[in-house]
Amino acid sequence: MKKIMNLLAASRLKQEFADRRNKLYKVAYSWCHNSALADDLVQETMFKAMKNADKLRNQATLDTWLYRILLNNWHDYLRVQGRNTELFDIGDENQPEHVDHYQQSQIVGRVRSSVDRLPMSLREVVTLADFAGFSYAEIAEIVDIPIGTVMSRLFRGRQKLKEQLLDLAGEGRLPVRLMRVK
């Protein structure tokens, strides 16, 4: 009976991991801007999470635990490749050619470019807060920094993004309507 219960628990945990895969991928992609690398980072995260599932003490902290593993994988990659590796995104050839979609993709591209220009310490905090929707406390636990540092990095990151995007708007390349979306 205990083996059956363990199998059910393992199956449930595996499903929990699968449910979070897309969100992990989006955050990984926002860090590296390379779909293959983001997929590799998420795959490695899932592998390590399943391998070490018995070390997860509290099911309620599953998201924080997974994102911490993802962040560690990202830092490991940067350490191995060096910080001067140039990453680039190959455009999706299957996007519709409709004018509205084109304008929207241009804006999204500029926002991604602005996020990409942020220093890594700011980029990690901004993406975890604004793309993944984590609280300050969760980000502090994931990145292993004090909550005050999370708040200051988030503030500075958003300020830099705002400046960069307003510069683009001043050049006439972006509409001047900025708003925070969460």
Contact 126, 159 (CB under 8 A): no
What is the pTM (predicted TM-score) of this model? 0.61
Matching fold, domains 1-83 and 96-182? no
Share of the chain above pLDDT 70, in %: 71
Residue extents of the structural domains in the chain = 1-83, 96-182
Q: How many CA atoms lie within 13 A of 97 on its CB side?
A: 1
CATH number for the domain whose boundaries are 1-83? 1.10.1740.10
Residues near 10 by beta carbon (within 8 Å), at least 6 away in sequence: 53
Hey, is 117 helix, strand or coil? coil
pLDDT for position 168: 67
Per-residue pLDDT of 71-116, as tens digits, reads 999 988 988 877 544 444 444 545 444 556 666 667 777 777 788 8
For every one of its 182 residues, what pLDDT tens digit does the chain have, with 9 covering 90 and above? 555 655 566 677 677 777 888 889 988 888 888 889 999 999 999 889 888 877 877 777 788 888 899 999 998 898 887 754 444 444 454 544 455 666 666 777 777 778 888 898 898 898 898 888 889 999 999 999 999 999 999 999 999 988 888 876 665 554 545 455 44
Give domain 96-182's CATH architecture: Orthogonal Bundle (1.10)
CB atoms closer than 10 angstroms to residue 156: 16
Angle at 26 between CA 110 and CA 163, to 5 degrees: 30
